[in-house]
Amino acid sequence: MAEADEACDVLVAGSGSAGLAAALRTSAAGLSTIIVERAGLIGGTTAVSGAAIWIPANHHAAVAGLADDRERALTYIRAVAPEGWRETEDALWRSFVDEAPNMLAFLEKETPLRFSLIKEADPYLEKTGAVRMGRMLSPRILRRKLAGPYARILQPPSLPHVFTFQEMLELDPFHHPVEAAFKRLPQLFWRWLTGGRGMGTALVTGLLRGCLDHGCRVALETRAIAPIVETGRVRGLVVEAEGRKRNILARKGVVLATGGFEWDAEWREKHFPGHCDFLGSPSRNDGDTHRIAVEAGAELAHMDQANITGGLPLDASRRPFGISSFFHQEPNAIVVNRHGRRFVNEYRFNLGEVIDEREPSTGQPAHLPAWLVSDQAFLENLPVVRHFAARNPGWTRKAQTIAALAEATRLPADELARTIERFNASCASGVDEQFHRENVASGATKARPGKSRLSPIQKAPFIAIPFNRTIVSTKGGPRTDAGGRVLRPAGSLVEGLYCAGAAMANPFGTWAVGAGTTLGPNMTWGYICANSIIFAND
């Protein structure tokens, strides 16, 4: 037996939503639980997120009289999934839809978190099982002081979480920051005074409060570096803190939830070759879980999957760190590939899936480098983008003519001119003959109320902004069964080892069934892992 420097029932690596949900569940069941976090901050990528969660058949929808059930949700997931995924992921989808509603009810019972429904439909409404409202939720405002001694060391968001996710949708501060602040001025002042915050800050605060109330111990600046394996079973982890290695043994199980591997340049280039604009997660997400799991004998899967969006550069000194953003969804903006041609409906929900398409013969990107192309009116309508453009000279390209813009971006001038001419003709007719983005079509996000999706690109100077991958988190890792137990290549269990969240071979890859299908499933998988540990040791 390895000599123990410390022991507990359950050891959780990572303090994002998946890790905190797992620790909350095991500690609430009476199991002694330690959370080790590599950083000196708590919350990981969750803390910087908008914290929308997709939870089917939840109790809030039932109270609101919105019809939904687990079988309907499973039918929808199957209908939306890419070809071939059902064969390997169906058991995990069923586990998710079975446990997600239980997880949400558990959080509201054991923490100060309270969630509200978001008035958003499933994006693929024409698919069997979709609903017009009821599956998307987000946390209400919580005061950071609920995090106790950790209140000042929560992972800070890139933009202040003074609004709730619902308020962001209703007030649209991205386009109208002053107006949005004015409409909520009393509330914002009170939140500033009391430390109230929404979105990812609220979610991490509430989860952490629940963990602390149930006796979890949190060890910061403590990096999990290797598994402790004896007689084929993972018995704990070797961790490193202040330059010293220690053995923490876990009598019941180890949960790996340290996030993705996007900050490991070698792995990122291997699995996501080609252009990548920004990374939207803390820089510690460089594959700790993956290395530990492989050493323990695990199989890795879905390593080419990630949460991919457009992105804004925070500032030049912190690149490649950036902010995930949907700034491309403007009526006078198009996205073109390296040939200067449009290749996608810019309002498509799963846009990242198309941005990341690969050439079958080479595995290289099919469209990159890609560019967002628009004109001066684009910047006039988006003060937030203007702000980041001013802070990052050279991020945008400007030119008085389309030909000069093509030269600045190294795009074929004739093809780019034809693309813009064709798009402007679509704006005049009101019909986008290529992608019909004038319609609220399958898998497309909605335009702002009263706003057209088609406006011509004609006001010089013309602009181009790099629009390649912004990776919020990779979604490949150790393959698990429907209980979150890590599997070996032959399909047998790595006994004692569990994995959740962005660190696992996520059953929702680059594709997603709705906004919130990162955090909703992440927390659910933390909860599922914990249940597997609890019930295996009853």
Q: Which fold has domain 329-466?
A: Flavocytochrome C3; Chain A, domain 1 (3.90.700)
Rounded Cα distance, 525 and 385, in Å: 35
Using the predicted structure, report yes or no on whether residue 446 has a pLDDT greater than 60.
Answer: no
The distance of Cα 400 from the centroid of its chain, to the nearest Å, equals 37
User: What's the pLDDT tens digit per position in 485-494?
Assistant: 999 999 999 9
Q: Which residue has the higher pLDDT, 326 or 251?
A: 251
Using the predicted structure, report yes or no on whether residue 308 has a pLDDT greater than 70.
Answer: yes
Mean pLDDT over 225-230 rounds to: 96
pLDDT at 340: 97
Strand partners, 233: 230, 495
Mean pLDDT is lowest, of 1-5, 98-102, 159-163, 466-470, for 1-5
- The CA-based dihedral angle spanning residues 449, 454, 460, 463, taken in that order and rounded to the nearest 10 degrees: 80
Three-state SS string across 375-402, please?
A: EHHHHHHCHHHHHHHHHCCCCCEEECCH
pLDDT at 24: 98
Which distant-in-sequence residues (6+ apart) come within 8 Å of 457 by Cβ?
332, 333, 334, 373, 374, 375, 420, 423, 424
User: What's the pLDDT tens digit per position in 86-106?
Assistant: 999 999 999 999 999 999 999
pLDDT at 314: 84
Split at pLDDT 50, 70, 90, the class of 452 is confident
User: What's the pLDDT tens digit per position in 377-430?
Assistant: 999 999 999 999 998 999 999 999 999 999 999 999 999 999 999 999 999 999
CA–CA distance from 528 to each of 31, 481, 525, 533 (Å)? 15, 11, 5, 9
pLDDT at 287: 95
Using the predicted structure, report yes or no on whether residue 449 has a pLDDT greater than 60.
Answer: no
Lay out the sheet containing 462-466: strands in order across: 334-336, 371-375, 462-466, 397-399
6-161+198-225+473-536: which CATH number, 1.20.1050.10, 1.10.10.10, 3.50.50.60, 2.30.40.10? 3.50.50.60
Domain range annotation of the chain: 6-161+198-225+473-536, 329-466
Candidates 385, 459, 379; CA nearest to 420 is 459
pLDDT at 164: 93
pLDDT at 160: 86
- What is the radius of gyration, based on Cα positions, of the chain? 23
Q: Up-side HSE of residue 425: CA atoms within 13 Å toward CB?
A: 8
Using the predicted structure, report yes or no on whether residue 344 has a pLDDT greater than 90.
Answer: yes
**Domains 6-161+198-225+473-536 and 329-466 equal at CATH topology level:** no
pLDDT at 439: 81
| Encoded amino acid at 388, one letter | F
User: What's the pLDDT tens digit per position in 139-161?
Assistant: 999 999 999 999 999 999 988 89
Mean pLDDT over 316-340 rounds to: 89
User: What's the pLDDT tens digit per position in 374-385?
Assistant: 999 999 999 999
Average pLDDT, the chain: 94
79-98 as b/e: b if 16+ CB within 10 A: ebbeeebeeebbebbbbbbb
Tokens of 252: 């019941």
Helices (H) and strands (E) in the chain, counts: 17, 23
Q: How many other CB atoms are there within 10 angstroms of residue 69's CB atom?
A: 14
Mean pLDDT over 289-301 rounds to: 97
Using the predicted structure, report yes or no on whether residue 447 has a pLDDT greater than 80.
Answer: no
pLDDT at 537: 58
Q: How many other CB atoms are there within 10 angstroms of residue 410's CB atom?
A: 11
pLDDT at 321: 86
Q: Catalogue the E-assigned strands of 367-468.
A: 371-375, 397-399, 462-466
pLDDT at 228: 97
User: What's the pLDDT tens digit per position in 18-51?
Assistant: 999 999 999 999 999 999 999 999 999 999 999 9
pLDDT at 125: 92
Using the predicted structure, report yes or no on whether residue 70 has a pLDDT greater than 70.
Answer: yes
Q: Which residue has the tokens 């004739």?
A: 414
pLDDT at 330: 93
